[in-house]
Amino acid sequence: HVTVALKDVHEEVLPELDDALATSAGVPEVETVEQLTQHIRDQLEQRAEQTMLGNIRAKLFDDVIEASDFTISPIVVEHEGRHVLERYIQQRQSMAARAGQQFTADDLTEEDVTSANEMAERDIKNALVIESLVEAEDLEILDDDIAAEIATANENAPSDDQRLEDNEQTRESVMRFLKRQRTIDKVIEMARSTSDGDQLEKDNE
């Protein structure tokens, strides 16, 4: 038989859920348990919303790509694939460094290269879809919108040398960015409305 000697017993004591604990959470403007609970609920809802929108966007792009006839040069895919691999190597090197290990390009497998090329082809197709949607929607971007975006970017700039200069080139780049972003938002909202409508019809059947 086996003899076991019990030397010590520990009991985990959780802090009392009160306003003091809520305040110690370090969340701005949270001073009570009710406020902390609402904050956590809001965070969970935001994450769920972001996940749902991401899924809608992914499915939307998949459907458009599947219904389209893309012909992309293998040279272009290979070129973009190298960029994907470079980012992958950097990520693996960072992970390896934290574990006290090393990772180099020699450690890449054929599967890594194939996966990178597939991802590159998908990225290129997504970019083509976005540009087609932007051209089709041709949304108007006001000068005030561009100025506000530049101001926001400069407010969040970590240093002065990373601030945007308000010139014609910058405004053109910001306008293209806003067009892409708002076009994507509009199309996703349309797809979401359609999805909600289809679900409502199913519920009423």
- Domain ranges (residues) in the chain: 16-67, 69-136, 139-184
Q: State the DSSP code for 167.
A: S
Q: Compute and round to an integer the Cα radius of gyration of the chain.
A: 25
Place of tokens 């998908």: 122
197 pLDDT more than 70: no
Q: Measuring CA to CA, how many Å separate 41 from each of 9, 25, 38?
A: 36, 15, 5
The rounded mean pLDDT for the chain is 86
Q: Measuring CA to CA, how many Å separate 155 from each of 98, 146, 152, 163?
A: 32, 14, 5, 8
Question: Contact 103/96 with Cβ under 8 angstroms?
Answer: yes
What mean pLDDT is predicted for residues 67-75? 79
What does the pLDDT read at residue 51? 87
What mean pLDDT is predicted for residues 105-117? 90
Q: What is d(CA 172, CA 39) in angstroms, rounded to the nearest whole number?
A: 38
Cα–Cα nearest to 85, from 64, 106, 70, 66: 106
Q: What is d(CA 164, CA 156) in angstroms, rounded to the nearest whole number?
A: 11
Residue 170's identity, in one-letter code, is T
At 136-191, the pLDDT tens digits run 888 999 999 999 999 999 998 888 888 989 899 999 999 999 999 898 888 888 87
What does the pLDDT read at residue 7? 79
At 126-140, the pLDDT tens digits run 888 888 888 888 899
Cα–Cα nearest to 105, from 83, 120, 90, 125: 90
Place of tokens 């003899």: 3
Instruction: Determine if residue 100 is left, alpha or beta; phi over 0 gives left, psi from -120 to 50 gives alpha, anything else beta.
Output: left
Length of the chain: 205
